[in-house]
Structure 1
Amino acid sequence: MKLGDENYRKTPETARLIERHYDDVRWDHILLLPKRQRGRLNAVVSPSIDEHADGTREIVWDESGPITVLYWQDVATAVRAVLQRGDVVDDHWAANAYLFCATVEQHISGFQSQPVIDRMVDPSGVVETVRPIVVSDALDEQLTYLRSRLGL
């Protein structure tokens, strides 16, 4: 998992060390990071990320084999899909799953809450006039994400 560490070049070495330490286990390696770091990841990894037709992303290093690239937002999307299907039988799990999704969306993806968005679009708020420019990309991403989750 990567939240503050942007040294993606050490990923295959880390994978190899884990495999060596636990050699009796079959490993599938996944690099989990915030979506906003995809540009940085693309810039520093070699070989580059392979994007497959099914939407999965993978880096194939010789030392450790393939490492799947997964974004935190992908995890929240999968959890929300389970919640929307109603497959959850445990209310405690569901409550924690909603909290997890909200945490990923707000703190890792940087999505804004409805009251913040309402304040930004209110023309009477002089102090808020600069903020929409700063978060416009995040709001576009947030809108795209929410539309896809609602099937719009």
Structure 2
Amino acid sequence: MKLDDENYQKTAETAALVEAYYDDLEWSHYLLLPKRKMSRLDAIVEPLLTELPDGRTEIAWDDPGPVTVLHWRDVTTAIRTLLYHADIVDDHWGANAYLFCAVAEQQLLKFQSQPVIEQLAAPATVVNTARPIRIAHTLGEQLTYLRERVFP
């Protein structure tokens, strides 16, 4: 899991060390990072990133083996899909899952909360009128995310 540490090259070494320590287990490796970091990852990782047929991205290291790149958006989509389509048996888990998604979406994906969106839809001041222009791209991503990936 990476947020501010952009030394992605050490991911292979870390994964290999974990495998060596827990050598009696079979491993699948994933690198979780914000999507905005993909260009940085692509610029510094050897071998080059490969796009898989299912749309995911993979780093084809020999040791420890392939590492699949996931984004926070993938995690929140999976959790929200589960919450939307499944019968959640544990209310405590469900409440925490919703909270986790909200925090990840607002802090890592930079999505706006419902009250902010309502304020942007009916601006009362010049400052509020100019704000949607600055965050239009993020609002577009947020709308696409909600329409296509979470509630298809």
* TM-score (norm: length of structure 2): 0.89
Give 1:74's aligned amino acid: D
User: Is 2:43 aligned against 1:40?
Assistant: no
User: Is 2:151 aligned against 1:150?
Assistant: yes
User: Is 2:133 aligned against 1:133?
Assistant: yes
SS of corresponding position for 1:55: coil
Equivalences, count = 151
CA contact (8 A) 1:119 1:125 kept: no
Gapped regions of structure 1 (runs ≥ 5): none
Aligned residues: percent identity?
58
1:66 Cα deviation after fit: 0.1
**Map 1:1-152 → 2, pairs under 5 A:** 1-148=1-148, 149-151=150-152
Q: Distance in 2 between matches of 1:95 and 1:30?
A: 26
Q: Distance in 1 between matches of 2:133 and 2:40?
A: 22
Q: Distance in 2 between matches of 1:145 and 1:56?
A: 16
**Structure 1 residues 134 and 10, CA, compared in 2 at 3 Å: closer, same or farther?**
farther
Give 2:114's aligned amino acid: Q
Q: Distance in 1 between matches of 2:73 and 2:7?
A: 20
Dislocated runs of 4+, deviation >4 Å: none
The CA deviation string for residues 38-70 of structure 1, in whole angstroms up to 9 with x for no partner, is 222122222222111212221111222100101
1:139 Cα deviation after fit: 1.2
Gapped regions of structure 2 (runs ≥ 5): none
1:131 Cα deviation after fit: 3.0
Cα RMSD for the two superposed structures: 1.7
